Structure 1
Amino acid sequence: MEFASSSLSSSSSSFLTSEPHFIHDVFINFGGEEIGRRFVSHLHSVLLQAQVKTFISQENLHDGMKLEEHMRAIGHTKITIIVFSKSYTESACCLLELEKIIECHETFGQIVLPVFYEIDPLDVRHQKDDFGKALEDTAYRTYSGEQLQHARSRWSSALNRVAGMTGWDDRDFRYDAELVERIVSRVNTLLDYKDLFITEYPVGLESRVEDVIKCIENQSTKVCMIGIWGMGGSGKTTIAKAIYNRIYREFIGKSFIENIRYEGYVALQENLLSDVLKSNLKVKTDGRGRTMIENGFSRKKLLIVLDDVNHIGQFENLCGSLEWFGQGTVIIITTRDISLLNQFSDNYVYKMDLLNENESLELFSWHAFREAKPRKERSELARNVVVYCEGLPLALQFLGSCLCDRRIEVWESVLLKLQRIPPNEQLLNVLKISFDNLRDTEKDIFLDVCCFFIGKEKDYVTEILNGCGLHADIGITVLIERGLIKVERNNKLQMCSLLQDMGREITCQECPEKPGKRSRLWMQGDVKYVLKENTGTEAILSLKLDSSIRDCFEAHAFKEMQRLRLLQLDHVQLSGDCEHISKQLRWICWRGFPYKCIPKNFHLENVIAMDLKHKSSSTRLETTTLETIPDFRAVKIP
Structure 2
Amino acid sequence: MMSPSDTSLVEEEEADVDRADRDGTGWVGAAESGAINTLELLKAIEESRVAIVILSKDYASSRWCLIELAKIVECMEMMGLIVLPVFYYIAPNDVCHQRGTFANAFAKHEEHLQDNIGNVQTWKAALTKIGDLARWDLKENSLVYRHDSIVIHEILIKIFSELNREFLSVCEELVGIDPHVKEVLDLYLGEGIGDVRFVGICGMGGMGKTTLAKEIYKRISRTILHNKKVLIVLNDVDGNEQLKALAVRYVAKIVFDIACFFKGESNDCVRDILKGFGYYPNYNIGVLMEKSLITIDEDRNLWMHDLRQKMGQEIVLRESPKEPGGHSRLWLYEDVHHVLKNNTGIEVVEGIALIILVHKEEQLNAEAFSKMKN
TM-score category, normalised to shorter length: 0.3 to 0.5
TM-score by length of 2: 0.38
More strand by share: 1
TM-score by length of 1: 0.23
Q: Which structure is larger by alpha-carbon Rg, 1 or 2?
A: 1
